Amino acid sequence: MIDWSALPFERTHLEDYLSALYQGLVQVHDVRPLKDKNNLDDAIKSFGYGSPLLITFAHNGERVQKIVLHTMSHDRFGHNRHSDRARNLLLDYANFNALPQHVPAIDVGALAEDGGLVSLGHTGEFFLITPFVQGQLYAADLKRIAHTGALIAGDEPRAAALAQLQPISKQPRFPVRLRLPSESGYRTFRKESPLPCHFAARECNP
């Protein structure tokens, strides 16, 4: 008996996803954790990201297949952000089928907010949609300063505001040093920022 309440998706979500992936009717028979050395738990007690799941299903009512659903857990080793984990899984999908004698990757996807499984395996470049806002990218200011070596009105307040940004989620904060030219040489703004160094400043602490 599968305890679907312990999983981040329901049976219908999983079967709909697999039916679309395999182009046929899929009926899931079993879902259970896959442990090291192929040792299986008897049943799912709780779900944790990073623990692979062995899924057994029938395809078009006859052919029984087994696949493994992999996720990544949140940790500080390059998996801090949602985007970090997405990047790693997309890279795995791109590389697994190119490595000799490696377990092939069938698909890569994401879990939707409603519990559905969304396939991303046949997508190309990603895009972002935002509302239109009149203005100029801050990167243009940094390029101008780098080119001219001089400040104009508003540069220092903008740098100070950028250094004071608060994280929008529980993400690690990056030590940042903003250095802008001034009459006495350089003026430094030191602050921990939620943004990676290459987004936040021209020069950063390691």
pLDDT tens, position by position, 145-179 = 999 989 898 888 888 888 787 655 555 555 555 56
Please tell me whether residue 174 adopts helix, strand or coil conformation: strand
Please state whether the predicted TM-score (pTM) of the whole model is above 0.75.
Answer: no
d(CA 29, CA 53): 13
d(CA 72, CA 76): 12
d(CA 70, CA 55): 11
Quick one: tokens of 202? 């021209």
**Structure confidence at residue 70 as a pLDDT band (50, 70, 90):** very high
Residue 9: what are its φ and ψ, rounded to 5°? -145, 160
Q: Where are the domains of the chain?
A: 4-119, 138-200
* Lowest-confidence region among 15-19, 38-42, 111-115: 38-42
Give the single-character DSSP code of 203.
S
Give the single-character DSSP code of 171.
-
